[in-house]
């Protein structure tokens, strides 16, 4: 099978000593990021983009892109593993996808079964990661073959679908998500017009001619924004950390969790593939399914092992599933994959249908490294769980200055301009203000990343059709993608309105 041959080539890339080191560093930092409440995978990945850029300066561009994305992806799925630690020991989710794990995980910890809960979370995460990667290998090549049928019109419509999918990253308000998307698109227009050479929104500031750097915006919004939030809100963990006893789960625990792990892995993967759905939704779905299928649903919420196994498997499978639309279609499936997409573009690697033809070493090297990374995570998480638990106790007075230093020095090392450091701080304040008022940050980043691609493909399509906009509706694939984008926006809107009408009628 062709995909297996490509995967073996990917393993040759991933097993190079420097790439193994990058994968190890990625999963190690990712676990720590997941363990620390409040940071989360989005902030962790954004923070490490400038670090990876500095670490890969001696490598050629293709190798630098591969090594960097291996490390950043390691942080992404490593954080999914680590997020369960605080959920179980402290009743505080490391990131949003671990919220459901607190329901039974913390109850198990209070019963003296914290070790078993953490072990099952690690085993479930490993199984789910492998299941999602096998599916990724099988689906990647067929989807990338669609590249032959994609022209500028199809690409434009695909990018529109990507923006429509941002409604899934909306948080509580779709209106706020769209406002952020439009603002991201506006920011992407700053700089010299690639066709006419006209300066747009630069106000004669020479450093703006190249546009706003994705790196500066992402690190400012996510990493520094979280720091300002922690400082101003004086966030700290006052909960009592549960003691960890026996790490190895019993045969009964393994037997009880086998079904939930299998179902959570499959469900999580398919939910993760849907752009915008994400790991949080997958973990909630998985928990609900297990509760419905269980012969003893009354045990859920009181410390049942299935209540830990199912959501932890689902959120890790979803992170693997989210890589499919990113790598094969160029549509980020979550906020973190939107940042990964920006990092790839920064290295002149365009995610999407042509990725597997133009940059097979990057695509297959990344997939192979995720297999290796999952094995590393299982080896790390089982024996070192007590050490990772100690990370929770890191005082903010040490952690926050470290994040600020990495952010500023990292951005300056890559951009080498004082202006970018000032811009970083400005976006940090802006990110804090937005998140404080419940404005989602991921749509802004997505708009900034997709903006130039939307503009370029629209222009190319209109040039070929002599300015006729019907080209977007005459091409079958383009039309299907536009219809899908419209439905993606309208269906949730109608469902919301219908729900409100039902409530009004019941009140009457």
**71-113: pLDDT as tens digits:** 998 988 888 777 777 777 776 665 666 777 878 888 888 787 7
Q: Within a 10 A sphere around the Cβ of 486, how many other Cβ atoms?
A: 13
Mean pLDDT (the chain, rounded): 81
* The pLDDT of residue 21: 92
Q: What is the pLDDT of residues 4-52, one digit of tens each?
A: 888 888 899 899 998 999 999 999 888 888 777 656 777 788 888 888 8
Q: For the residues of 169-222, what is the DSSP string, one character each?
A: G-TT-HHHHHHHHHHHHHHHT-EE-TTT--EES-TT-GGGTT---HHHHHIIII
Contact between 213 and 415 (Cβ < 8 Å): yes
CA angle 351, 356, 362 (to 5 degrees): 75
> pLDDT grade, residue 482 (50/70/90)?
very high
Contact between 160 and 454 (Cβ < 8 Å): yes
Q: Residue holding tokens 């406002």?
A: 179
> pLDDT grade, residue 508 (50/70/90)?
very low
Max Cα–Cα distance, the chain, nearest Å = 71
- Residue extents of the structural domains in the chain: 2-151+214-426
Q: Which two tokens stand for residue 110?
A: 């209070």
Q: Where are the beta strands (DSSP E) in 352-473?
A: none
Residue 192 has phi, psi (to 5 degrees) of: -80, 135
């Amino acid at each position: 099978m062709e995909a297996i041959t490509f995967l073996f080539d990917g393993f040759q890339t991933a097993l190079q000593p420097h790439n193994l080191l990058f994968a190890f560093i990625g999963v190690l930092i990712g676990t720590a990021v997941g363990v620390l409440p409040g940071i989360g995978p989005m902030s962790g990945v954004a923070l490490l983009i400038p670090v990876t850029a500095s670490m890969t300066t001696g490598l050629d561009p293709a190798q630098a892109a591969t090594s960097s994305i291996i490390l950043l992806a390691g942080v992404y799925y490593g954080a999914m593993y680590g997020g369960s630690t605080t959920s179980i020991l402290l009743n505080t989710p490391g990131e949003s996808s671990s919220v459901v794990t607190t329901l039974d995980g913390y109850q198990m910890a209070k019963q003296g079964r914290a070790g078993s809960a953490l072990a099952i979370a690690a085993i479930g995460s490993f199984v789910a990661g492998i299941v999602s990667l096998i599916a990724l290998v099988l689906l990647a090549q067929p989807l990338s073959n669609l590249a032959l049928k994609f022209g500028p019109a199809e690409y434009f419509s695909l990018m529109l679908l990507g923006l429509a999918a941002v409604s899934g990253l909306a948080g509580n308000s779709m209106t706020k998500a769209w406002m952020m998307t439009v603002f991201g698109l506006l920011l992407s227009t700053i700089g010299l017009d690639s066709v006419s050479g006209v300066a747009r929104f630069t106000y004669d500031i020479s450093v703006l001619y190249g546009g706003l750097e994705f790196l500066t915006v992402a690190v400012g919004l996510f990493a520094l924004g979280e720091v300002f939030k922690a400082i101003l809100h004086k966030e700290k963990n006052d909960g009592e950390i549960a003691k960890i006893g026996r790490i190895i789960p019993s045969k009964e625990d393994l037997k009880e969790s086998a079904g939930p792990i299998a179902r959570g892995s499959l469900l999580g993967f398919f939910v993760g593939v849907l752009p915008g759905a994400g790991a949080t939704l997958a973990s909630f779905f998985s928990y609900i399914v297990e509760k419905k299928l269980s012969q003893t649903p009354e045990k859920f919420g009181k410390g049942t092992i299935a209540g830990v196994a199912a959501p932890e498997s689902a959120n890790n499978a979803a992170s693997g599933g989210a890589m499919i639309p990113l790598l094969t279609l160029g549509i980020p499936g979550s906020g973190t994959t939107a940042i990964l997409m920006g990092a790839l573009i920064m290295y002149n690697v365009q995610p999407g249908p042509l990725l597997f033809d133009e940059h097979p070493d990057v695509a297959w090297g990344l997939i192979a490294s995720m297999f290796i990374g999952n094995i590393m995570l299982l080896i790390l998480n089982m024996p070192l769980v007590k050490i990772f638990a100690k990370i929770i106790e890191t005082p903010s007075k040490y952690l926050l200055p470290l994040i600020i230093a990495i952010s500023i020095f990292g951005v300056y090392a890559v951009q080498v301009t004082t202006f970018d450091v000032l811009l970083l701080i400005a976006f940090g304040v802006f990110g804090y203000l937005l998140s404080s008022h419940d404005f989602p940050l991921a749509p802004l980043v997505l708009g900034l990343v997709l903006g130039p691609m939307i503009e370029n493909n629209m222009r190319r399509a209109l040039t070929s059709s002599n300015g006729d906009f019907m080209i977007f509706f005459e091409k079958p694939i383009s039309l299907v993608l536009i219809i899908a984008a419209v439905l993606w926006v309208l269906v949730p809107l109608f469902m919301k309105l219908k729900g409100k009408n039902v409530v009004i009628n019941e009140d009457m």
